[in-house]
Structure 1
Amino acid sequence: MKILVVGSGGREHALAWAIAKSPRIQTVYVAPGNGGTALDERLQNIAITDPVALADFVEQEHVALTVVGPEGPLAAGIVNVFRARGLKIFGPTREAAQLESSKDFAKAFMQRHAIPTAEYQTFSDVAAAHDYIALKGAPIVIKADGLAAGKGVVVAMTLEEAHTAVDMMLSDNKLGDAGARVVIEEFLAGEEASFIVMVDGKNILPLATSQDHKRLQDHDQGPNTGGMGAYAPAPLLDAEGLEEVRRIVLEPTLKALRQRGIDYRGVIYAGLMITADGPQVIEFNCRFGDPECQTLMPLLGPELGAVLQACALGRLDLAPQLSIAERCSACVVAAAEGYPEAPRKGDAIRIDLAPSPNHQLFHAGTRRDSSGELLTAGGRVLAVVAQGDDFDAAFAGAYNGLNQLDYAGITYRRDIGHQVRSGG
């Protein structure tokens, strides 16, 4: 069986790597892939990004399933293109992907269907947004309505930060169309957790919980990023907590989507804040998180490809049982100097790390030049992932691996997983 993974980041490298573990898989194509996927003999990069051209390729090569990694192609309607041609694809349609591509749509959806989330208002008028901030006070959260590659959220601890964020998005247009409207919502105090499930329109298949670290610097300082590291499973949600999230968040969401005539097949990622009043939804994503995906994939068994295919067919009930290892998994991201605002690119990368059963290296912002040298090519460059019987062992492995990488300006946090490591 041939499978296509769409995307070029660390998430897509991890997905392709995990899918290729099955002996049933003949080839995993990655479009367009990166410098790391180009090295794996089980993977094959293809230099195609246009949805129609990808659909043509799938038909010509008799690809059994396409798996969409990033949010951009989902929001652009790649699933609509493939479904219209009868091609099997894992991911939600453009209409369903609005749960992620529009913060305003998601907040209105949650409010309408009594899904717990923070109080909010949406603004396109600068003066009105400033007035609302003055009324509500700080801390407060400012979000770009559209997709902003993980850079569209400002958790403002002061009024000055909040007003500056509004000006940056609405007045200065620093985020383009993504920031043409802003959602301003109440600040929720608590611990963050991510709960990722696969859904086939009717059935829900939970994966391990995880916790991401968004801020660039240690002690959760600095700007928000796409994610500087993660770990799984997240002990913050026990079996009772997971069942509560399923009951008050996931099942109502899937039911409401069906009521709107949306056959949602793919991932629902609930970004949660566990507050004193219970779990609240910070945001929905419509794909595997990044770097949560890199953290989770090594825990999943070789049945993953078959499960993804069953999900795309709307028949998770017929899928083989997906094995999930009862181990701890840790991921630390190495980013480029200047990330997230202006990452420098083109620096040579040295890698002395040899992958092993308990150690993985997933590429994100990398490319190979004409001579084959590996260079930095994006904000988040590499993700080192390790598994252990406890979190201390997993993080020791991840940081040991990180010490075996080098490039000019390498940037990473030294406290990923402080919540679960001995001594914090």
Structure 2
Amino acid sequence: MSCVLVVGGGGREHALAWALNRSRHVERIIAAPGNPGIAACDRAENAPVAAGDTDGLVELCRRESVDLVAVGPEGPLAAGLVDALGEAQIAAFGPDGSCARLEASKAHCKQFLIDNGIPTAPAHVFRDAGEALAHLRARPDVPVVKASGLAAGKGVIVPSTRQEAAEAVEAMLVGGRFGTAGSEILLEERLEGRELSVLAFCDGEHFAVLPPAQDHKRLLEGDRGPNTGGMGAVAPSPAADQDLVAEVRGRIIAPTLSGLRRAGTPYRGVLYAGLMLTAEGPKVIEFNCRFGDPEAQAVLPLLRSDLYEIMLASATGSLDGVAIDWAPEACVAVVMASAGYPDSTADPAPITGLDGAADAGCVVFHAGTGTIDGGLHATGGRVLAVTAVGPDVEAAARKAHRGVAAIDFEGAQHRADIGLALAGTTPR
């Protein structure tokens, strides 16, 4: 029996711990730093080590005889945690720091895509505000403005006017919005179409595609309002059929992994392709080098196979020997966020109704929660992901929304259209 360390403390990490808790191989799960939801899993416990404390995590692995590390967030990957674990001869599910640059630098990713002939939107990279604004004035369209570095999923601005684009450029390059993540920006041609997330387990050579998911980034119903880390997800996406998935495998996932192998940096872990389904076919908006949040909460409940076996095979280059089975159902995850999200953080607020959500048939994954005076509280940001499985997207969505209705905390906000807006969507 094995001991697994899950690095991180959000909803994605709760979903990983929940799935690993079902493994016949796993005796013990340690989450660093974890959250109250993870600690409630019968084989799991939290450890007070920050996800960004590389030395502390390596020492924790040695002290607790950890057999496998599952890295949740992007920051530790970009900081080289997997490299440090490798030097300590500790198996890790996640790419090394070189591969993680695909997410950590959108400028690097864009050049990689161009060099390897992978479909993407054209873009220009700037560090100087004057040069960026001159380029903006000269181009005929209004581009997307992207911070090149890691900005917690909030570094992409989709302006409606040239003035809004100019304000975004100045906010990043002059005003310091997003800090060092926004010190380099991309002005990228805006793609039109439906967004889709396609993830793949990778072992450096072989890969296996997960059910395609659809994330909802905007705060408000109807895909309005500011970008967030994600207000909900659906899997599998009704917008994707088998032909589209095969196209993504052949035109995007396979050449990406081949390009990384040729560069001497084979990719191990999960690769997340954020795509736009355009009239010319799927194009890469971005790569993430880890499970999405909340995509993980919508995809992992459909996994029938043993997640530990898949992660260990990905880490050790033996994924081709593992059978991966998915339930022929749908899963919908609806995020409940605190008041003021994504712009501000609310005061802690008691959470009630989790038992009611469970009675409605939902699994509730914790993100921004904490225990205060013995009671569970919302502590800001995205707080919970209320998740349900059903025979189709509409049934799963209605169950998830019944779970949301059972839960209450002061200032709670969610999107009432997650899943329901996609029901009946015709696959492309």
Q: Tell me the residue number matched to 1:331.
A: 333
Consecutive unaligned residues in structure 2, runs of 5 or more: none
Q: Would you say the 8 A contact 1:294–1:362 is kept in 2?
A: yes
CA contact (8 A) 1:138 1:156 kept: no
* Partner of residue 61 from structure 1, selected from 59, 64, 69: 64
Answering whether residue 411 of structure 2 is matched by residue 415 of structure 1, we say no
Shift of 1:31: 0.7
Aligned to 1:211: 214
When residues 245 and 8 of structure 1 are mapped into structure 2, their CA distance, relative to the original with a 3 A threshold, is same
- Pick one of 307, 310, 329 that aligns with 1:307: 310
Matched residues, number = 422
Q: Is the 8 A contact 1:51 1:81 kept in 2?
A: yes
Aligned to 1:23: 24
The residue type equivalent to 1:339 in the other structure is: Y
Which residue in the other structure is 2:380 paired with? 378
Q: Which amino acid aligns with 1:331?
A: A
- Asked whether the 8 Å contact 2:397–2:420 carries over to 1, the reply is no
Tell me the secondary structure at the aligned position of residue 99 of structure 2: coil
Q: CA deviation at 1:237?
A: 2.0
Structure 1 residues 116, 422: CA separation in 2 closer, same or farther (over 3 Å shift)? Answer: closer
Q: C-alpha displacement at 1:421, in angstroms?
A: 2.2
C-alpha distance after superposition, 1:228-272 (max 9, x if no partner): 001000122211111111111111111110111102110110000
Q: 1:237 aligns with which of 220, 236, 240?
A: 240
Letter in 2 for 1:405: I
- Once the 2 structures are TM-superposed, how far is the Cα of residue 2 of structure 1 from its aligned partner? 1.0
Say which of 152, 156, 172 aligns to 1:169: 172
Mapped contact 1:4–1:65 kept (Cα < 8 A): yes
Q: Percent identity?
A: 44
Letter in 2 for 1:136: R
CA shift, 1:302, in A, is 4.5
Contact 1:359 1:398 in 2 (8 A): yes
Q: Are residue 340 (structure 1) and residue 350 (structure 2) matched?
A: no
The yes-or-no answer on 1:256 pairing with 2:263 is: no
Q: Structure 1 residue 40: deviation in Å?
A: 2.6
For 1:411, what is the secondary structure of its paired residue?
Answer: coil
Asked if 1 retains the 8 angstrom alpha-carbon contact of 2:204 and 2:257, the reply is yes
Aligned partners of 1:6 and 1:67 also within 8 Å? yes
Could you report, residue by residue, the CA deviation over 1:111-153 in whole angstroms, capped at 9, with x for unpaired residues? 1111100010001111111122222244420000100001100
Counterpart amino acid of residue 408 in structure 2: D
Q: C-alpha offsets along residues 184-234 of structure 1, whole Å, 9 cap, x if unaligned?
A: 100000000000001100001111100000000111111100000010001
- Please report how far the alpha carbon of residue 418 of structure 1 lies from its aligned counterpart in structure 2 after TM superposition: 4.0
Q: C-alpha separation between the residues in 2 aligned to 1:139 and 1:382?
A: 35
Aligned to 2:395: 393
Question: SS in structure 1 opposite 2:13?
Answer: helix
**TM-score normalized by the length of structure 1:** 0.97
Could you tell me which amino acid in structure 1 is paired with residue 37 of structure 2?
G
CA separation of 1:75/1:357 partners in 2, compared to 1, >3 Å: closer, same or farther? farther
In 1: Cα distance, 2:376 partner to 2:220 partner: 26
- Closer, same or farther in 2 for the Cα pair 1:269/1:423, shift >3 Å? closer
Name the CA distance, whole Å, in 2 between partners of 1:365 and 1:219: 25
Greater alpha carbon shift after TM alignment, 144-153 vs 21-30: 21-30
* Alignment equivalent of 2:135, drawn from 132, 136, 143: 132
Q: Deviations over 1:362-418 (max 9, x none)?
A: 00011112x221122231000000011111110110100001111111011111124
1:12 to 2:5 alignment: no
The aligned amino acid for 2:418 is I
Q: Give, as a single letter, the amino acid of the residue that structure 2 aligns with 1:164.
A: E
Over 3 Å counting, the alpha-carbon distance change for 1:423 and 1:274 in structure 2 is: closer
Say which SS state the counterpart of residue 181 (structure 2) adopts.
helix
2-structure distance, mates of 1:177, 1:422: 42
Residue identity in the other structure for 2:415: R
Tell me whether 1:109 sits opposite 2:81 in the alignment. no
Distance 1:208 1:358 in 2: 22
Q: CA deviation at 1:422?
A: 5.4
The equivalences for 1:172-321 within 5 A come to 172-319=175-322, 321=323
Looking at structure 2, the residues matched to 35 and 303 of structure 1 have their Cα atoms a distance apart, in angstroms, of: 24
- Aligned partners of 1:24, 1:418: CA distance in 2, in Å? 37
SS of the residue aligned with 2:230? coil
Over the aligned positions, Cα root-mean-square deviation in angstroms equals 1.5
Structure 1 242/381 Cα, relative in aligned 2: closer, same or farther at 3 Å? same
Q: Which whole-Å CA distance do the structure 2 matches of 1:420 and 1:178 have between them? A: 33
User: Aligned-pair distance for 1:42?
Assistant: 2.3
Closer/same/farther in 2, CA of residues 129 and 92 from structure 1, 3 Å limit: same
Paired residues of 1:3 and 1:25 also in contact (CA < 8 A): yes
Distance 1:284 1:356, change over 3 A: farther
Q: Alpha carbons of 1:358 and 1:308: their partners in 2 closer, same or farther (altered >3 Å)?
A: farther
Contact persistence 2:357–2:407 (CA under 8 A): no
**Cα distance, 1:35 vs. partner?**
2.2
1:121 aligns with 2:124: yes
C-alpha deviation, 1:356, in angstroms: 6.4
**1:16-55 alignment to 2 at 5 Å?**
16-49=17-50, 50-55=53-58
Provide the rounded CA distance (Å) in 2 between the counterparts of 1:397 and 1:297.
17
In the alignment, the residues of structure 2 paired with residue 360 and residue 132 of structure 1 have an alpha-carbon distance, to the nearest angstrom, of 48
1:4-45 Cα deviation digits (max 9, x unpaired) = 110000000001001111232101111101121123332111
Partners of 2:204 and 2:267 within 8 A in 1: yes
Runs (5+) with no aligned partner, structure 1: none
One-letter identity of the residue aligned with 1:277:
E
Question: Following the alignment from structure 1 to structure 2, what is the Cα–Cα distance between the partners of residues 236 and 343?
Answer: 34
